[in-house]
Structure 1
């Protein structure tokens, strides 16, 4: 598998050396201090010596980290649909993408607790430039999506990634997670990029696109945070886009966003696994001969599932009413919930900045607006 060396996660026989290599990093001290508060660092450093696989590391350490994150920064995680999945079957999970670290971490915690196959997960190489983050990502079965390449190299990189995902699903029997788009959704409009599906299809070989996609066992997943801990951090990029300006990230921006996502208050969180996309692919094959049309149709099925299964917390209804200066959904939230949300808005957005206020509210309201549109669509 040497052609995958630039992007792959650690093999089990590399785990112990990599883990011990970062065990004295101040960031590891902080991570383990958060995970096991009050425990002397000698204890977990000693335990690291006995970790010889990704699975050991995830079960014995990272699962505890994610549970601590939930305990300290959320009011609980609920799930639907995962009980319908087969414990022996690898799936390709495609989800909406709101948080750099948490989206895939939460899915994997749910898979672990349901006895399902945990995922190898895609992460942009721009997010793991620090040695500690790079090694930690590979210790968590993350593989690297290479960003910012020239067009020809980008094509080659996409081909390799497609083959790697195929290898994981079909030969290593490992589930895979990828986001439905490159980068996080900043405005609350969850939409699958055709480029992601095009990349997956590169490994189809002699199979038709729809037959190959059947073998991937695609499961759309909706991730719904009541509060987005990085909501205000997304504003500068949205405003730059509004003004048609290029947005340049500061050097540590991605890292600070990761920290905010992990430690910031999320209130309630819901994960909903949709149905495996299967017979719909037969319909698409009959209906469309053109490959691009087929890709569009698959993207639409994923979008419909994610939008329909998205949990509409009170914050979505409050934001809609504030955005439109109405009380249309007043029966969906309490006055206390509304006041708490208004307080959050006022703390995070300058009250005199009407445009930022509008974008902030739209970010929360758009999943509701998209669900309404989806339900109004007449069946074809």
Structure 2
């Protein structure tokens, strides 16, 4: 019996059945049509027929996870070409192609943070990784299917009782151990639950506790995380396609108003992130981190946070936001013209927002500068 059957990535033997189910799922077709065809055109009967026939044609060439990933790779290369001005990944020379790592990353975009790194690893001859995804994104079973086809595993963070929650987290911990030490596969996980919508990157000690659950009685915190070969990942986008949506949510939360997600809002955010213009994108990797034997969860999380902040690539948009908020800074990476141009772009983005949300949007871009200043 497979203890991970309900959370692990799908296997080659499961691909055909999952794809057939997806193609025949009306919710999948509705979502794809909504993403591809705006407004009234999406309601035209022939559109549903065309999309379904296209899907049927595409899945005829997919027999394995590798086949699926090659299609996903082509999509990601198109994303880089059409929505990213420049894309750089630094730090691969610190890693060994034959070893496995636990990549702990800051989190800005639901799907792209891991996908962009996986693309570059693949193109550079490195093995890719299993991706940790929270079950909060899995309101629809077909969304779970799409993620699991792409080497994702599900962390069950919710449950009716504390025992159920603990059981879900413990199973994820066991799967991470299984992936790295038995299946010879690295793992990518965000440094905390949910995206850093305010631009403040911080590692949650609770996430580290979850990872350690399976070995907590056998190894100390530091010993286990040293054995996992933790690599901190710092990803930065010059512009966030979902910045306005995040700003509205943050503004409502601060004013004590209840923020109720629209149906399929996370899926819409995924689509926005993929399609929207991102400007320059940078990913910086640390060497495998070493923790002192006395380090506890809080100390380990602090060190990972510091590593991510110190290697975070700041863009002209970050400094432009500081200017617009009246925050002092010194920098020599960008000309005054580049920052002025970024200010124009940010002013354009906040035009349609209420005053409170405007501030929240600018803070998203300014906070990485503030964090760097505070950490030095």
- If the length of structure 1 is used for normalisation, what is the TM-score? 0.86
| 1:202 match: secondary structure | helix
Could you report, residue by residue, the CA deviation over 1:54-76 in whole angstroms, capped at 9, with x for unpaired residues? 223212x0000011111121112
Mapped partners of 1:172, 1:79: distance in 2:
26
Could you report, residue by residue, the CA deviation over 1:127-156 in whole angstroms, capped at 9, with x for unpaired residues? 233343222111101111224324321111
Could you report, residue by residue, the CA deviation over 1:172-213 in whole angstroms, capped at 9, with x for unpaired residues? 011111100000001100000011000011111412221111
1:89 corresponds in structure 2 to 99
1:37 corresponds in structure 2 to none
Q: Does 1:69 align with 2:70?
A: no
Pick closer, same or farther for the CA change 1:349–1:198 going to 2, 3 Å: farther
Pick closer, same or farther for the CA change 1:295–1:326 going to 2, 3 Å: closer
| 2:314 match: secondary structure | coil
Deviation, structure 1 residue 328: 5.3
| 1:132 match: secondary structure | helix
| 2:103 match: secondary structure | strand
Deviation, structure 1 residue 31: 11
Pick closer, same or farther for the CA change 1:232–1:333 going to 2, 3 Å: farther
Q: Does 1:271 align with 2:283?
A: yes
Greater displacement, 23-32 / 69-78: 23-32
2:122 corresponds in structure 1 to 112
Deviation, structure 1 residue 16: 2.5
Deviation, structure 1 residue 253: 1.5
Pick closer, same or farther for the CA change 1:341–1:202 going to 2, 3 Å: same
> Any stretches of 5+ residues in structure 1 without a counterpart?
35-39, 376-380
Could you report, residue by residue, the CA deviation over 1:7-52 in whole angstroms, capped at 9, with x for unpaired residues? 1111221112222433465379769989xxxxx9978755633433
Mapped partners of 1:341, 1:16: distance in 2:
49
Residues 244 and 349, structure 2, Cα contact 8 Å, conserved in 1: no
Pick closer, same or farther for the CA change 1:165–1:57 going to 2, 3 Å: same
1:378 corresponds in structure 2 to none
Residues 272 and 309, structure 1, Cα contact 8 Å, conserved in 2: yes
1:7 corresponds in structure 2 to 7
2:325 corresponds in structure 1 to 323
Mapped partners of 1:68, 1:33: distance in 2:
15
Alignment of 1:167-186 (within 5 A): 167-186=178-197
Q: Does 1:161 align with 2:162?
A: no
Pick closer, same or farther for the CA change 1:33–1:359 going to 2, 3 Å: closer
Alignment of 1:1-380 (within 5 A): 2-23=2-23, 26=29, 45=56, 48-59=59-70, 61-149=71-159, 150-204=161-215, 205-278=217-290, 281=291, 283=292, 285=293, 288=294, 294-324=296-326, 332-335=334-337, 337-350=339-352, 353-375=354-376
Residues 16 and 49, structure 1, Cα contact 8 Å, conserved in 2: no
Mapped partners of 1:43, 1:226: distance in 2:
34
Q: How many positions carry a matched residue from both structures?
A: 359
Mapped partners of 1:347, 1:214: distance in 2:
43
Residues 317 and 333, structure 1, Cα contact 8 Å, conserved in 2: no
Residues 247 and 358, structure 2, Cα contact 8 Å, conserved in 1: no
Mapped partners of 1:250, 1:118: distance in 2:
33
Mapped partners of 2:355, 2:332: distance in 1:
23
Pick closer, same or farther for the CA change 1:277–1:27 going to 2, 3 Å: farther
Residues 186 and 363, structure 1, Cα contact 8 Å, conserved in 2: yes
- If the length of structure 2 is used for normalisation, what is the TM-score? 0.87
Could you report, residue by residue, the CA deviation over 1:105-127 in whole angstroms, capped at 9, with x for unpaired residues? 11110111111111111112232
Greater displacement, 179-188 / 132-141: 132-141
Mapped partners of 2:325, 2:350: distance in 1:
16
Could you report, residue by residue, the CA deviation over 1:275-321 in whole angstroms, capped at 9, with x for unpaired residues? 1112xx1x2x1xx3xxxx61111111111111011111110111111
| 1:78 match: secondary structure | strand
CA RMSD, aligned part only?
2.7
